[in-house]
């Protein structure tokens, strides 16, 4: 596929697909074309059996400084309502069965932060600056920011960040659980790949079911959450991967998972 706002790479030796936001001249500001292209790349990697994990990152010095304000300033309410919204893309990130790691350097603001929060794991470089800064231009987060941020860092800290529009460092983001770890900038992609490799050695079936269970059970009552988990646990027994994994354990060898 040919793209104008992103780059894609498939590292076959690692079984990892990489999507790089690639509008460095505007700090990877997210416009409609980029949203459409990221959606297409996600769909392609989802259907590719050779890819078992995905890394989302930014080209140049930044992850994404937010939405493209120049493309939004004259939009009407109806145009915004019926657009291919960032919210739809964030739900696609969550629905994708393969684990997605956000590798964040530089600015990760507004829509960029919302994209990162929809990934399964976030790793930040020391240069990372994160925040929901929409209040500074007279709007509020529109890509799930008020929702996911609250679930990740708690209602008090979410209100502080959204209502002030302040930008925090990668270290502060790690302290409040917005990201899972912080590394030197020159180690960011290797750290993301290291984590991806820890995932891709496992059964694709189990990875998808585990992600589904966590995603869908997190914000419901305990009994419903347990029922979702039990359904996903039981579904694993319909796969060849479950048989292979358990037989390999009993036979004291490495499993050879087929993703079926």
Question: Catalytic residue positions?
Answer: 114, 134
Distance CA 4, CA 78 (A): 27
Distance CA 161, CA 129 (A): 13
Distance CA 84, CA 111 (A): 13
Q: Decide: 29 and 67 in contact? Cβ < 8 Å.
A: yes
User: What would the two tokens of residue 86 be?
Assistant: 């960032």
Nearest to residue 113, comparing CAs of 147, 72, 82?
Answer: 147
Q: Decide: 134 and 110 in contact? Cβ < 8 Å.
A: yes
């Amino acid at each position: 596929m040919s793209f104008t706002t992103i780059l894609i790479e498939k590292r076959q030796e690692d079984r990892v697909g990489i999507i790089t936001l690639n509008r460095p001249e505007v700090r990877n500001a997210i416009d409609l074309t980029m949203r459409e292209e990221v959606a297409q790349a996600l769909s392609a990697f989802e259907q590719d059996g050779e890819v078992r994990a995905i890394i989302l990152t930014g080209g140049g010095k930044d992850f994404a400084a937010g939405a493209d304000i120049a493309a939004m300033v004259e939009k009407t309410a109806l145009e915004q309502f019926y657009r291919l919204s960032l919210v739809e893309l964030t739900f696609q990130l969550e629905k994708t069965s393969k684990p997605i790691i956000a590798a964040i350097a530089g600015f990760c603001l507004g829509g960029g932060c919302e994209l990162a929060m929809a990934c399964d794991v976030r790793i930040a470089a020391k240069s990372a600056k994160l925040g929901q800064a929409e209040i500074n231009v007279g709007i509020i987060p529109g890509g799930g920011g008020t929702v996911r941020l609250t679930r990740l860092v708690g209602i008090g800290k979410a209100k502080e960040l959204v209502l002030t529009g302040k930008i925090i460092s990668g270290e502060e983001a790690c302290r409040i659980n917005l990201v899972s770890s912080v590394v030197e900038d020159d180690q960011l992609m290797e750290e993301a790949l290291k984590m991806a490799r820890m995932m891709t050695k496992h059964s694709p079936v189990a990875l998808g079911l585990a992600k589904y269970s966590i995603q869908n059970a997190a914000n419901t009552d305990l009994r419903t959450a347990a029922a979702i988990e039990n359904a996903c646990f039981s579904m694993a027994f319909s796969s060849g991967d479950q048989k292979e994994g358990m037989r390999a354990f009993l036979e004291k060898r490495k499993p050879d998972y087929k993703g079926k």
